[in-house]
Amino acid sequence: MTDAPLLQVEDLNLKFHLYEGVSHVLNGVAMHVRGGERVALVGESGCGKSVFVRTVLGLLARRNVEVSGRIRYHGEDLFGLSDGQRRELRGRKITMIFQDPSAALNPVFTIAQQMTEVIRRGNPSCRSAEALDIARQSLLQVAIDEPDRVLKSYPFQLSGGMNQRVVITMALVNRPELVLADEPGTSLDVTVQEQTLQLMTRLTHDAGAAVLLIAHNLGVVREFAERVYVMYAGTVVEEGTVEEVFRDPLHPYTKALFEAVPRLTGGAMPRAIEGMVPDYTRAPEGCRFHPRCPHATERCKVPPPNVTMGPGRRVRCILHEGEAEEAVHG
């Protein structure tokens, strides 16, 4: 792992202009991923995690979308790149593992056609026969004993777990620097999810790739990641190492997440978080969690301070603004 950020996101805001109004989805998001690092972004479904990843990759349609802020890769602002340059970057340096393997693979092409296309996109001088051999060897590395059968198959002829292995292999075959993994395996059964996590951990480690894992399963985060960002309603409310956040969660939302997971309650009954993630066309003023927070006051209706609690340890909440010398409002 290197000290310089590989990916640096600064004050990222995203709005969708819809018929029913303006949907303020991402709200001043800031985070970074260093080379070779494993980072997790957690939160409830609907908190903006997947939209954030698609914004980083440049996969959102431009119509009725307004984006501001900075996304830097190796210090270069991605918003300054052309569409062709973004596609080139996605194909070689940054790749994506989607949560549903059946949706990530094209049903009308064989696995061989799809894998060789990815390989040749990353290595334009690679011949078809050479790309096919690379695909075969890559499948053998993920314990697929019959790679030729798999390569000749269409996605619908394979199990969900097999397709997930193929998707992970395709994402890593060109040895990218950064892998964005959007809850991989969550559409599959628990056993396959565990196998998927172990496989992804091994392959990314062997490739020296950094990983930004999108997840709502805190057990997976604890096992996989080194640092974690907690997102609520498009806002990062807490960040720190996995050890720090799991040992001493600071934000009321992070604490509520832990209390909702049976294994993390210390034997107490899990408690659901009351209320719902807000409608982004009518997002609450100030702290977006305050309508559901048991500690909320009138002060929570203004933007909360982003309090630095230590190196790489921050929380966006008024409950902690007196606990550190430096607090940045916004």
> How many domains in the chain?
1
Task: Look at 64-73, 160-169, 182-191, 198-207 and tell me which has the smallest mean pLDDT.
Answer: 182-191
Average per-residue pLDDT for the chain: 89
In a domain, 63, yes or no: yes
Report whether 174 contacts 146 (CB < 8 A): no
Q: Is the pLDDT of residue 188 over 90?
A: no
In this predicted model, what pLDDT tens digit does every residue of 222-249 receive, in sequence order?
A: 989 999 999 999 999 999 999 999 999 9
Higher pLDDT, 1 or 295: 295
- Angle at which helices 83-92 and 111-122 pack, to 10 degrees? 110
Span 246-272, pLDDT tens digits: 999 999 999 999 988 876 555 567 788
| Cα atoms found within 13 Å of the Cα of residue 120, Cβ hemisphere only | 15
**What pLDDT, on a 0 to 100 scale, did the predictor assign at position 144?**
85
For residue 2, pLDDT over 60 is answered with no
Domain-embedded: residue 147: no
Q: Is residue 155 within 8 Å of residue 89, measured between CB atoms?
A: no
Residue 38 lies in a domain: yes
DSSP secondary structure letters along 251-277 = SHHHHHHHHTSGGGTTTSPP-PPPS-P
> Considering the domain boundaries, does residue 117 fall inside one?
no
Q: Could you tell me which residue, 146 or 3, shows the higher pLDDT?
A: 146
The confidence score (pLDDT) of residue 123 equals 86
User: What's the domain range around 213?
Assistant: 5-108+154-329
Of the pLDDT bands very low, low, confident and very high (cuts 50, 70, 90), residue 330 is: very low
Quick count: other Cβ atoms within 10 Å of Cβ 96?
21
Name which of 6-20, 171-185, 227-241 the model is least confident about. Answer: 171-185
| 135 in any annotated domain | no
What is residue 241's predicted lDDT score, i.e. its pLDDT? Answer: 97
Give the pLDDT score at 326: 47
- Give the range with max mean pLDDT: 32-46, 84-98, 311-325: 32-46
Which one, of 246, 214, 228, lies nearest residue 312 by Cα?
A: 228
* 19 lies in some domain: yes
Query: What does the pLDDT average to over 28-38?
Result: 95
Q: What is residue 35's predicted lDDT score, i.e. its pLDDT?
A: 93
User: 244: domain CATH number?
Assistant: 3.40.50.300
The count of other CB atoms within 10 Å of the CB of residue 76 is 12
pLDDT single digits (tens) 110-168: 999 999 999 998 888 899 999 999 999 999 988 788 999 999 999 999 988 889 889 98
Q: What DSSP string runs through 101-168?
A: HHHHS-TTS-HHHHHHHHHHHH-TT--HHHHHHHHHHHHHHTT-S-HHHHHHS-GGGS-HHHHHHHHH
Can you name the residues that pair with 241 across neighbouring β-strands? 227
- Looking at residue 289, its pLDDT comes to 97
Mean pLDDT in residue range 200-221: 88
At 183, is the pLDDT very low, low, confident or very high (cuts 50, 70, 90)? confident
Model confidence pLDDT, tens digit, residues 265-320: 555 677 888 899 999 999 999 999 999 999 999 999 999 999 999 999 999 999 99
Q: Output the pLDDT for position 194.
A: 76
